[in-house]
């Protein structure tokens, strides 16, 4: 069996706006998806998943399937999860030229599914890396990130950006603007994550922002303002000014709320962090439920979140300096 892992991520700035060519700055964090792949003698795909914020399941099939594992999450999340695995294997077959290759795939993840921490990107990056190596092909990081992006782009009906998959493949802090993806320097950020136990529907949330942007000029202006904020945030990162970074994160959360992608639980966690005197806090990812990220070097925010109604988990996150790891 060939085994790879890839990290999740948080957005300091720029989610949703990045879909429209504006810049974004995500950071990889040390919560990982680990994917083991073993070639089969037939062309079937067997997937066993654990710890993806749901009960473990196993499904085996010859091609794409409408059957859903018996787990207590929405059909849309299960369909998306299986879609990402299918898409990753399609990329593997394409790049290796082995169209009939079958695999046993085992997925273990520390990253909540659909919670804004890049679970799908981490699974796709690790799956493509492990499966191509199982077939004797080793992809360079840039091609791995590109193949993973193509998978997300297809599953998300053309509404994905390169940010999540590039960040997961390379690790560290990255800057993404359209086709331009690169790593950037960042200080040792005191990241605290709050998780409400839920998940947003990424496709529906991205589609909702698209509708607003097309219907209202001021919504389009809001998306552009997020891009301007990201550029200001890059300068604060260069100087290590945590106070300004926090102010800009607060501003970014307000803009995302105006675009309709926050929720009561996310807002409650953001305000709990601010009341605990964090430098700043915002939702991370598509929104609608899931996670917030705050900047606080003290224990105050983590403690406050643990006592916030609707927050199921709070933890400190370290920056993942390394992206994909080849474990076996």
Residues 116 and 166 in one domain: yes
Residues 14 and 162 in one domain: yes
Residues 178 and 287 in one domain: no
Q: Which residues contact 162 (CB under 8 A, 6 or more apart)?
A: 145, 146, 149, 176, 179, 181
Q: Is residue 324 part of a domain?
A: no
Count CB neighbours of 51 within 10 A: 16
Does the pLDDT at position 63 exceed 70? no
Residues 310 and 202 in one domain: yes
More confident residue, 56 or 4: 4
* CB of 314 closer than 8 Å to CB of 306: yes
Nearest to 293 by CA among 310, 274, 307, 312: 274
Q: Is residue 253 part of a domain?
A: yes
pLDDT category at 49 given cuts 50, 70, 90 is: confident
Residues 124 and 227 in one domain: no
Q: Is residue 23 part of a domain?
A: yes
Q: Is residue 136 part of a domain?
A: yes
In CATH, what number is assigned to the domain containing residue 312?
3.30.70.890
Nearest to 237 by CA among 21, 68, 26: 26
Residues 131 and 211 in one domain: no
Among 166, 185, 204, where does a domain finish?
A: 185
Token pair 């010859």 in the structure block, residue: 62
Does the pLDDT at position 62 exceed 80? no
Show the DSSP H helices in 109-262 as ranges. Answer: 119-134, 141-155, 163-170, 202-215, 217-239, 242-258
Residues 177 and 208 in one domain: no
User: What average pLDDT does this structure show over 246-257?
Assistant: 98
Residues 27 and 167 in one domain: yes
Residues 174 and 200 in one domain: no
More confident residue, 319 or 65: 319
Domain housing 281: 191-317
Q: Domains in the chain: how many in total? A: 2
Q: Is residue 327 part of a domain?
A: no
Left if phi > 0, otherwise alpha if psi is -120 to 50, otherwise beta: which for 51?
A: left
Q: Is residue 113 part of a domain?
A: yes
In CATH, what number is assigned to the domain containing residue 138?
3.30.230.10
For the chain, the average pLDDT equals 90
Tokens of 70: 């018996």
Residues 67 and 174 in one domain: yes
Percent of the chain with pLDDT over 90: 75
pLDDT category at 55 given cuts 50, 70, 90 is: very low
What pLDDT was estimated at residue 303? Answer: 97
What pLDDT was estimated at residue 71? Answer: 46
DSSP 83-116: HHHHHHHHHHHHHH--TT--EEEEEEESSPTTSS
Per-residue pLDDT tens for 178-197?
Answer: 899 999 998 889 999 999 99
Among 168, 185, 202, where does a domain finish?
A: 185
Told to judge if 164 belongs to the known catalytic residues of this protein, a careful annotator would answer: yes
Per-residue pLDDT tens for 125-169?
Answer: 999 999 999 999 999 999 999 999 999 999 887 777 899 999 999
What pLDDT was estimated at residue 65? Answer: 46
Residues 160 and 24 in one domain: yes
Q: Is residue 323 part of a domain?
A: no
Burial 168-178 (b: 16+ CB within 10 A, else e): bbbbbbbbbbe
Residues 134 and 230 in one domain: no
User: What average pLDDT does this structure show over 210-222?
Assistant: 96
pLDDT category at 317 given cuts 50, 70, 90 is: very high
Per-residue pLDDT tens for 71-128?
Answer: 444 455 555 567 888 999 999 999 999 999 999 999 998 888 778 899 989 999 999 9
* CB of 195 closer than 8 Å to CB of 287: no
* CB of 244 closer than 8 Å to CB of 279: no
Catalytic-role residue among 146, 164, 201, 296: 164
pLDDT category at 319 given cuts 50, 70, 90 is: very high
Q: Is residue 111 part of a domain?
A: yes
User: What average pLDDT does this structure show over 282-296?
Assistant: 95
Among 164, 185, 206, where does a domain finish?
A: 185
This prediction has a pTM of 0.87
């Amino acid at each position: 069996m060939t085994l790879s892992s890839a990290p999740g991520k948080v957005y300091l700035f720029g989610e949703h706006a990045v879909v429209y060519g504006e810049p974004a700055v995500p950071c990889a964090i040390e919560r990982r998806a680990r994917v083991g792949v073993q070639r089969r003698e037939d062309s079937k795909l067997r997937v066993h998943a654990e710890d993806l914020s749901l009960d473990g399941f196993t499904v085996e099939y010859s091609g794409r399937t409408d059957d859903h594992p018996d787990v207590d999450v929405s059909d849309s999340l299960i369909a998306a999860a299986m879609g990402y695995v299918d898409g990753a294997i399609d990329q593997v077959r394409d790049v290796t030229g082995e169209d009939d290759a079958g695999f046993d795939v085992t997925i273990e993840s520390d990253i909540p599914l659909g919670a804004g921490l890049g679970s799908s990107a981490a699974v796709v990056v690790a799956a493509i890396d492990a499966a191509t190596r199982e077939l004797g092909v080793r992809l360079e990081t840039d091609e791995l990130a590109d193949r993973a992006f193509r998978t997300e782009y297809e599953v998300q009906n053309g509404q994905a950006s390169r940010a999540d998959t590039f960040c997961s493949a390379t690790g560290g802090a990255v800057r993404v603007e359209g086709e331009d993806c690169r790593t950037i320097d960042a200080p040792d950020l005191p990241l605290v994550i709050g998780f409400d136990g839920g998940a947003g529907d990424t496709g529906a949330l991205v589609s909702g922002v698209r509708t607003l942007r097309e219907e209202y000029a001021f919504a389009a202006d809001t998306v552009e303002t997020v891009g301007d904020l990201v550029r200001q945030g890059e300068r604060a990162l260069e100087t290590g000014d945590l106070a300004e970074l926090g102010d800009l994160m607060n501003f970014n959360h307000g803009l995302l709320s105006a675009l309709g992608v926050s929720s009561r639980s996310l807002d409650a966690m953001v305000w709990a962090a601010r009341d605990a005197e964090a430098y700043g806090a915002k939702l991370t990812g598509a929104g609608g439920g899931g996670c917030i990220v705050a900047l606080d070097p003290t224990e105050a925010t983590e403690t406050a979140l643990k006592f916030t109604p609707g927050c199921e988990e709070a933890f400190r996150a370290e920056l993942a300096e390394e992206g994909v790891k080849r474990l076996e």
